[in-house]
Amino acid sequence: MEQELWLIAGLGNPGRQYEKTWHNCGYLVLEVLCQRYQIALNKIRFKGLTGQGTIAGRKVILLQPTTFMNLSGESVREAMAFYKIPPQRTLVIYDDLDLPAGQIRMRPGGGAGTHNGMRSIISQMGRQDFPRVRVGIGPLPANWELVSYVLSDIPQDQQQQMFEAFSQASDAVEKTLRDGIEAAMNQANQKRERHVPE
């Protein structure tokens, strides 16, 4: 029997000027996964960059939509349709302003919050029951507008913290593929609780 295929989509904006911005956390987590598993994003398909490989014994398609954030759903939907991958095996990685910077949370479904990329995906899918890894980038600093903040570069003094978060997010992807979403959620929540001061 052929092994079930997973789609792992990391959200961001294309272009050198956005490479190290808060809003590109999804792209940056995919880069960690590519390095760990020697997967190259070397094909232009589905309005994005794709690569195939194996993570935790599962066959995966990694996808970086290159549509700009607010049209990410078009890319994800096209890849899902081509490979006949259901929402339950479509894992989306994105930045979340509602979480403190550096925190990782997993959810099996839910709404989009303020995230335009997630709104696009939910709109294109017509449903919300797909797993996601949220990478915290909050809170919004005083006197910053939301768009200006998420499109700003991650400051030098927070880059190490965020690199560790990208590594933890990659761990969460691996745990999901190996042991399922519930086990991955438990692991991510335990790490989060250890970082919250009493």
Nearest 5°: phi and psi at 138? Answer: -90, 180
Dump pLDDT digits (tens) for 28-65. 999 999 999 999 999 999 999 999 999 999 999 999 99
CATH for 5-195, among 3.40.640.10, 3.40.50.300, 3.90.1720.10, 3.40.50.1470? 3.40.50.1470
Closest by Cα among 96, 116, 114 to 105: 96
Backbone angles phi, psi at 10, to 5 degrees: -110, 125
Indicate whether 143 pLDDT > 70.
Answer: yes
Report the distance separating Cα 34 and Cα 62, nearest Å: 8
CA angle centred on 68, ends 70 and 60, rounded to 5°: 95
Global pTM value: 0.94
**pLDDT single digits (tens) 74-121:** 999 999 999 999 999 999 999 999 999 999 999 999 999 889 999 999
Burial 150-163 (b: 16+ CB within 10 A, else e): bbeebeeeeeeebe
What does residue 152 show for φ and ψ, rounded to 5 degrees? -90, 155
Active site residues: 23
